[in-house]
Amino acid sequence: MKVLKILVISDEESVSLWDYFDKSKLEGIDLIISCGDLAPQYLSFLATFFSGPVLYVHGNHDECYLHTPPEGCICIDDQLYEYQGLRILGLGGSMRYRSGEFQYTQNQMKLRVLKLWLKIKRRKGFDLLVTHSPAKGLGDGDDLPHTGFDVFNYLLDKFSPRFFIHGHMHLNYGRSKRLSQYKKTIIVNAFDKFVIECPVKKVSL
């Protein structure tokens, strides 16, 4: 079984990767995934030195992407993206708490999932759920901006992806964990940077 090494990033540009970059820090990495709220210049910088894809979903502070999208990167928001057999579902944004882009009510997020439903079923699910916000009650916050989406819980229950990767909850807040487990799914908070290894098996359609 093939194993992909994935660098996940979110919410805070890594000093190690940006200010003190060395190309050797990306050796062995197959894929980079951003969970949002990062400067587009940071993603473009990584894409310049990385030979594989740099994927991203939007965070609630990524309105600048509308006029300055990260160059050389692939937006997977509202997409079921496949890379070397790895099925990745992207759903960026946060709970709506003010006017602006990339914010959604619970019902709006459910509608986004509904629009992807046939594609998800055809692909027999997905291996990675990539979001900006966490799921409801799984590492989310008590305030409205940091409330998780309950449709994410449904997706985890229905499809049991290997990983659920999100951002939004800064680890330096002191109320979030880097890793946790929900049934068969490993939940990863991508704040700053973290590397996961994901086995990939071919899905028969």
CATH number of the domain at 189, please: 3.60.21.10
- The tally of domains found in the chain comes to 1
Instruction: Examine residue 205 and state whether it is found in any structural domain, yes or no.
Output: no
Instruction: Examine residue 94 and state whether it is found in any structural domain, yes or no.
Output: yes
Instruction: Examine residue 48 and state whether it is found in any structural domain, yes or no.
Output: yes
Q: 18 pLDDT band (50/70/90 cuts)?
A: confident
Concatenating the DSSP letter of every residue in the chain gives -EEEEEEEEESS--HHHHTT--GGGGTT--EEEE-S-S-HHHHHHHHHH-SS-EEE---TT-GGGGTSPPTT-EE-BTEEEEETTEEEEEE--EE--SSSSSEE-HHHHHHHHHHHHHHHHHTTS-SEEEESS-BTTBS--SSGGGPPBHHHHHHHHHH--SEEEE-SS-GGGSS--SEEEETTEEEEE-SEEEEEEEEE-PPP-
Q: 184 pLDDT band (50/70/90 cuts)?
A: very high
Note down the domain range covering 171: 2-200
Q: 22 pLDDT band (50/70/90 cuts)?
A: confident
> pTM of the predicted model, to two decimals?
0.96
